[in-house]
Amino acid sequence: MALAFLIPLGLSLGGQAREEAIADAARRSALVTGALAVSTEPDVLARAIDASGDDPATRPVVHGLDVDSTAGRADAAQLDRARSEGRSLVVDVDGGVLRLDPVLLGDRSAVVEVFVPDSALGAGAGGRWLLLAGVAVALVGAAVLVVDRVAARTVDATRDLVKAALAVGDGDLGVRVEPSGPRELAEAGHAFNRMADRFVAARTEEREMVADLSHRLRTPLTVLRLDAEALESDDTSVGSFSQAELDHLRGIRRIRQAIVTLEGEIDVLIKTTRKAVATEAAPAMCDVSEVVRDRMVFWAALAGDQNRPHRVIGAQLRIPAPVPRAELAAALDAVIGNVFRYTPQGTAFEVAVSRRDGYVAIRIDDAGPGIANPDRALRRGTSDQGSTGLGLDIAKRVALQTNGSVSIDRARLGGASVVMLLADPEATPRQVSRFGLVGRMAREQKSTGRRWPRQRPTDG
């Protein structure tokens, strides 16, 4: 590229030098032709020729007058051509070029000849080409240096991206690259980091899903355990039994042992897959009242078997919430399941739904012993009852999807009151206090004045 630009430039500069030399010859010729226009006296012409320059080889020569023209280089044909055409001519001769300017002097015609040697035509050509060659070398050197640096950055960025990709392939998901190099490689680095982040989030989400699905198995498992506990004792060491009775009692023992084993396996599965939630997908919509009514059909049957007084408040009208139906159902099952799991049979409970101040509140109260340390109970994986500690965390995660919250307080029934606040998608946005809604709900409970039936003692 340097040669493609510099060679034409050198030729152009050479042509410019030639034009300047011929123009200088025209200037010197004009001195003589001007003198001829004034007088043809030899003395006048001699002074004009002397004034045109000091080099005798390049002084003008006048042809066609009574002056010595033996020093001229033009032949008769060239002179006749200049006279016949009546204009200035530039002709090539040995050692240079001639400029011929015809001049009409009455009935005569004179021709002024000026010789321009090759040295004047190519003046400074050597230095000019040497300078251009130096410029070419400097440009090539600078281009090589710039390309080398750019290539080095590109290679380094590519090498870092390859190392990071291999590290992720080997299982090191914490590796990230510092985007650098050309724009395309920098964009590839950003894309790689986003891919790695999404991969980590997807894996974490998958483990969370496994943990939560495992926890959902506790709902039917709790029913099985409670039904198994309602069976008679499986102790075969006291008393005498027939073979059929022994087989029956041993079957009961196997059922209970299988339930204990299954609970242990579920606990292990939950604990080994428990991870912090990294990202949450955009929630779907569901009807809170419809979900509460549907789940209470299941829990009401179990509550009837255990003589648990219960009621549902405020679940008659449609109340939308921006969470998937399955997740809200899982959260309700987790909280209500804790009531059945950690309170004695016959303990009353209540599920209430309300809508106010931009939030939908789901309150689950019980008449059990309560929760001694609410803050600890809300921490994921923490439990004072020997469980996995995921029940309340499932409810908390569902509430956080809608910028809500979960709180634990003392219920009017005497036990624990778990309140889930979900953002109301149809409410006018404004700043409200979440705890104010919880407080008003508590005051409303006190104002109802309804008394619960006395709990019946459980069978020993």
Kindly give the pairing relationship between strand 89-93 and strand 108-117: unpaired
**387 falls in which pLDDT band (50, 70, 90)?**
very low
The tens digit of pLDDT for each residue in 121-130 reads: 765 566 677 7
Cα-Cα-Cα-Cα dihedral sign, residues 310, 331, 379, 430 = negative
- What's residue 361's pLDDT? 92
**10 falls in which pLDDT band (50, 70, 90)?**
low
Helix (H) or strand (E) holding 89: strand 89-93
pTM here is: 0.40
The tens digit of pLDDT for each residue in 183-211 reads: 888 888 888 888 888 888 777 777 666 66
**272 falls in which pLDDT band (50, 70, 90)?**
low
- 194 exposure class (CB count in 10 Å sphere: 0-12, 13-18, 19+): exposed
Residue where the block lists tokens 């300017």: 101
Q: In this structure, what token pair is assigned to residue 305?
A: 């078997």
- What's residue 289's pLDDT? 92
Nearest by Cα to 388 from 211, 259, 208: 211
CA angle 386, 387, 392 (to 5 degrees): 125
Residue where the block lists tokens 């050692």: 95
Answer for the pair 26, 140: CB distance below 8 angstroms, yes or no. no
- What's residue 425's pLDDT? 84
Higher local confidence (pLDDT), 380 or 429: 429
Higher local confidence (pLDDT), 126 or 39: 39
DSSP one-letter code for 374: H
Helix, strand or coil for residue 75?
coil
Q: Which of 40-49, 74-83, 157-166, 302-311 is predicted with the least confidence, judged by mean pLDDT?
A: 40-49
pLDDT greater than 50 at residue 260: yes
Residue 325 φ then ψ, to 5°: -60, -40
Kindly give the pairing relationship between strand 405-410 and strand 320-321: unpaired
Domains, in order of start, for the chain:
2-123 (3.30.450), 283-448 (3.30.565.10)
Q: In this structure, what token pair is assigned to residue 235?
A: 């102790």
Mean pLDDT value across residues 156-161: 83
**239 falls in which pLDDT band (50, 70, 90)?**
low
Residue 456 φ then ψ, to 5°: -85, 140
Q: Which of 207-211, 275-279, 441-445 is predicted with the least confidence, judged by mean pLDDT?
A: 275-279
Answer for the pair 103, 48: CB distance below 8 angstroms, yes or no. no
Amino acid at residue number 33: T
Answer for the pair 29, 60: CB distance below 8 angstroms, yes or no. yes
Q: Which of 34-48, 169-183, 332-346 is predicted with the least confidence, judged by mean pLDDT?
A: 34-48
Distance CA 192, CA 189 (A): 5
Q: What is the mean pLDDT of the chain?
A: 75
Distance CA 418, CA 377 (A): 11
Q: Which of 5-9, 89-93, 219-223 is predicted with the least confidence, judged by mean pLDDT?
A: 219-223
Cα-Cα-Cα-Cα dihedral sign, residues 140, 141, 144, 146 = negative
Give the whole-number percent of the chain exceeding pLDDT 70: 74
Mean pLDDT value across residues 387-395: 63
DSSP one-letter code for 401: T
pLDDT greater than 90 at residue 352: yes
CA angle 95, 96, 97 (to 5 degrees): 145
Helix, strand or coil for residue 311?
strand
Distance CA 173, CA 167 (A): 8
Residue where the block lists tokens 């894996």: 203
Distance CA 345, CA 36 (A): 140
pLDDT greater than 70 at residue 176: yes
Residue 276 φ then ψ, to 5°: -70, 140
CA angle 295, 300, 303 (to 5 degrees): 130
Q: Which of 46-60, 104-118, 228-242, 373-387 is predicted with the least confidence, judged by mean pLDDT?
A: 373-387
Q: In this structure, what token pair is assigned to residue 313?
A: 């408040």
Distance of CA 458 to the CA centre of its chain: 61
Rounded (to 5) percent helix, strand, coil in the chain:
55, 15, 30
